[in-house]
């Protein structure tokens, strides 16, 4: 009888723990705004480690395609960036005062320096459908 009670108690504890645990993954989705439609658009998903060096994931949209994106990610801190590749070389070209091509982050960044992860990242704990990025 004690074994049965112990098993029931353990099952109840496991159920409560699972009920309070967050989702294994969340959807981070949005749209890139401000693109001309004449050039490819790239959207990159970033983690703290490798920020602005190695995106965790990247998506390329062909010219004229609707730049609606979705990434399924574990809950945590994430940053999103996008750029319109006007010369079709696959990289965001930089000039002396910043990007030469239209670009932007999910969380707007306007300082005259290279952004840090915390400047443009957000903590995502549930599905976020409004992660829009405006290119400037």
- Higher local confidence (pLDDT), 4 or 90: 90
Q: What is the percent of the chain where pLDDT is above 90?
A: 77
Give pTM, 2 decimals: 0.83
Classified by CATH at the fold level, domain 23-134 comes out as: Immunoglobulin-like (2.60.40)
Cα separation, 48 vs 122, in Å, equals: 11
Which tens digit of pLDDT belongs to each residue from 69-103?
A: 999 999 999 999 999 999 999 999 999 888 999 99
What pLDDT band is residue 112 in, cutting at 50, 70 and 90? confident
Mean pLDDT of the chain: 88
- Burial code of 90-114, b = ≥16 C-beta within 10 A, e = fewer? eebeeeeeeeebbbbbbbebeeeee
Sequence ranges of the domains in the chain: 23-134
């Amino acid at each position: 009888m004690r074994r049965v009670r112990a098993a029931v108690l353990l099952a109840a504890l496991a159920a409560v723990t699972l009920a309070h645990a967050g989702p294994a993954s969340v959807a981070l989705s949005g749209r890139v705004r401000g693109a001309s439609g004449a050039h490819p658009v790239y959207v990159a998903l970033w983690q703290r480690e490798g920020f602005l060096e190695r995106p965790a994931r990247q998506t390329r949209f062909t010219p004229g395609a609707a730049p609606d994106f979705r990434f399924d990610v574990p809950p945590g801190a994430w940053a999103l960036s996008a750029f319109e590749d006007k010369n079709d070389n696959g990289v965001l070209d930089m000039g002396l005062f910043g990007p030469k091509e239209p670009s932007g982050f999910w969380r707007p960044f306007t300082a005259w320096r290279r952004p840090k992860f915390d400047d443009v990242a957000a903590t995502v704990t549930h599905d976020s459908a409004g992660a829009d990025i405006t290119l400037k």
